[in-house]
Chains A and B, each alone.
Chain A
Amino acid sequence: MSAGGAQFRPRLQARRTLGWLFAAVCVLFSLTSLLVLGVLLVEVFRVGWPALSWTFIRNLPSVLFPEQAGIWTALIGSIWTVAITALAAIPLGIGAAVYLEEYAPRNWLTNAISINIANLAGVPSIVYGILGLAIFVRWLEFDRSVLSGGLTLALLVLPVIIIASREALAAVPDSVRQAAYAVGATRWQTIRHHVLPAALPGIITGVILALSRAVGEAAPLIMIGALAYVTSVPGGSFEGYDHSLAGVWSWLRDAMLADFSAMPIQIYNWTDAPQKEFHVLAAAGIIVLLGGLLTMNAVAVGIRAWRQVHRTW
């Protein structure tokens, strides 16, 4: 090829057409995932909607009579589990994030902790299940209880909460901290009264997204031995307990150590059953589960959008 003006052909028209085609392909590919999401939702609703009713939500699961089976134990089990997860993971996760963003010196230890957290976020959820089985179920003898499940899921979502909270804390400008220090606040006073409130919306968004992940997880709960067929709800009845603080305490203890089910487990069980009637129940269960998750997601995204409008810095 010889260089020179005579050989230079811009071919602008062809290049633009090619560019236009490429853009079209990109749009098409981008739409694929939305299309799949749409098909998935339509399919689940088509199959599951007729089975969805108040009885379905309030009834206990049944091996023999699919028409009478319900998701109540799984629904309440999921709520218990995620409550325990939240109680354990939120303070620990935010605490770790505050340490890493506000206190930690830049040294090898901090660096190692950060790398470790990034890698923990990539550990498969089933491995956390194995950890929970060995630590909570066998070693601490919590058995296959809501407590074991909730704590296992807490370990699973901790890295997610830490990473999101760190991002929110890092986004608070240093001028906020310097202003507090300038009027004599200590490090903790600065963080408590100024940095944390400013970062809170971001943290809440991250926490909600992490918890919604916990609600949908089935694999770790299967590992620690959650059941699909439990006949009672953890803490479902207050009968036989003292109406005193001690009574409430022993009720809570028994509830936390009770056998439990969770919605993803119940859905898995119904999907895995050979009879068609159970597949319908699985679809109905998925509608309930997705309804809960999408509400959580919408709240999280809403808080973030609100934040972007009402930013104070």
Chain B
Amino acid sequence: MARILRKLREGGIHAALLGCALLSVATTIGIVWVLLRESLGFFSDVPLREFLFRLEWAPELGGKYGVWPLVCGTMLVAGGGLLLAIPIGVATALYLSEYAPHWLRQLGKPIMEVLAGIPTVVYGYFALMFITPNIIRPLYPEADVFNAASAAIVVGIMIIPTIASLCDDAFRAVPRALRDGAYALSATKLEVSTRVVFPAALSGVVAAILLGLGRAIGETMAVAIAAGMTPKVTANPFTSIQTMTGYIVQVSLGDTPQGSMAYRTIFVIGFTLFLMTLGINLVANYVLGRLREKYE
């Protein structure tokens, strides 16, 4: 009897734990279902052709539903952020894994975690109140109060921990023997770092950059605060633009009744955002998985 009870309890616990794990699958299904349902409603009114090929986004004024201005704004901010974050992130990781003394290495990760833990709304405040007046305006006086450059700088700072931490993991996964082999041929530390460790860990670096890009694209509050609310197709970082995330925030702050066109645009832009980040993350995680197989 006690045996049967015990079997039942073990089975029940097993099932409950499986349920917890399956909740994550349900979350994904929920996201796709919710986004898809409202997006389909949107596309029954607006042809997909208009959404994909028109270069104007002005739902309130004249109902222009071309997604490009928002995508362009997002890319301007994310691309600018990467320009800053890649050199700093990779150099930090290289320093921590190849040069730094042991104690500093131990300190590196917690510091990265603190940096990564600063809320994005704080970075938004910093971009608007400090970076624009003290860095952007002195260099380029005609810059708008809200501009893509200040947002790009803080987004770059925000993704440095992601890139540095993942690159650090990738560099450390390179087997000791490869370094020793190079040193035995009298290579200097620079040569070992750049011609042995870096190439060996290249796929990890690529994955780190992709994951950083995914975060930059989805970054919301800093961009909503500092980048502006003017959707347009431009490559000029000193003007006011709008990103996909910034648009979603702007609409949801207003009064949007369920079923209205403005309400639906939230979901259709959210879906676009979801598909972009999902694609990037799938590739990045696939690359990381391959890297693990290689060295473990």
Contacts and interface: CB of A to CB of B under 8 A. Distances in A.
B92 A216 contact: no
Contacts of B285: 115, 118-119
A57 to B, nearest CB: 18
Contacts of A293: 117-119
A293 B110 CA distance: 14
A272 interface: yes
B248 A218 contact: no
Given A29-B92, A293-B119, A123 B278 contact: yes
Contacts, number: 249
B117 A216 contact: yes
Contacts of B189: 19, 23
A44 interface: yes
Contact of B221 (A91, A100, A127, A264): A264
Contact of B282 (A44, A119, A271): A119
A26 B95 contact: yes
A130 B24 contact: no
Interface stretch (A32-40, A231-239, A253-261): A32-40
Interface string A210-247: 00110111110011010000000000000000000000
B46 interface: no
Instruction: Give the secondary structure class of A's interface.
Output: helix
A131 B119 contact: no
Given A127-B31, A216-B121, A103 B14 contact: yes
A177 to B, nearest CB: 15
B17 to A, nearest CB: 4
Interface string B14-46: 101111111111011011001100100000000
A43 B130 contact: yes
Contacts of A279: 125, 129
B270 interface: yes
Interface residues of B, number: 87
Interface residues of A, number: 88
A32 B15 CA distance: 49
Contacts of A179: none
A96 B20 contact: yes
Looking at A26, A158, A222, A297, which has the most chain B CB atoms within 10 Å of its CB? Answer: A26
A118 B16 contact: no
B53 interface: no
Contact of A272 (B99, B130, B225, B280): B225
B31 A125 contact: no
A133 B224 CA distance: 19
A188 B9 contact: yes
Contacts of B277: 122-124, 127
Given A158-B23, A282-B125, A218 B91 contact: no
A26 B94 contact: yes
A23 B92 CA distance: 10
A92 interface: yes
B71 interface: no
B10 A297 contact: no
A131 B34 CA distance: 7
B267 interface: yes
Contacts of B211: 122
Nearest to B35: A130
B13 interface: yes
Contacts of A195: none
Interface in B61-102: 87-88, 91-92, 94-96, 99
Contacts of B139: none
Q: Which 9 A-B pairs have the closest CB atoms?
A: A124-B218, A216-B119, A95-B20, A19-B190, A29-B91, A99-B17, A122-B281, A26-B95, A219-B220
17 contacts: A22-B190, A25-B91, A40-B130, A91-B20, A95-B16, A119-B28, A119-B285, A122-B211, A123-B281, A131-B30, A134-B38, A188-B10, A215-B119, A222-B252, A268-B224, A271-B128, A297-B117
Given A23-B99, A26-B95, A222-B252, 19 more contacts: A23-B189, A29-B87, A40-B118, A44-B122, A96-B21, A99-B17, A99-B20, A113-B22, A113-B24, A118-B285, A122-B214, A124-B220, A125-B218, A126-B273, A130-B34, A158-B23, A218-B220, A271-B121, A294-B114
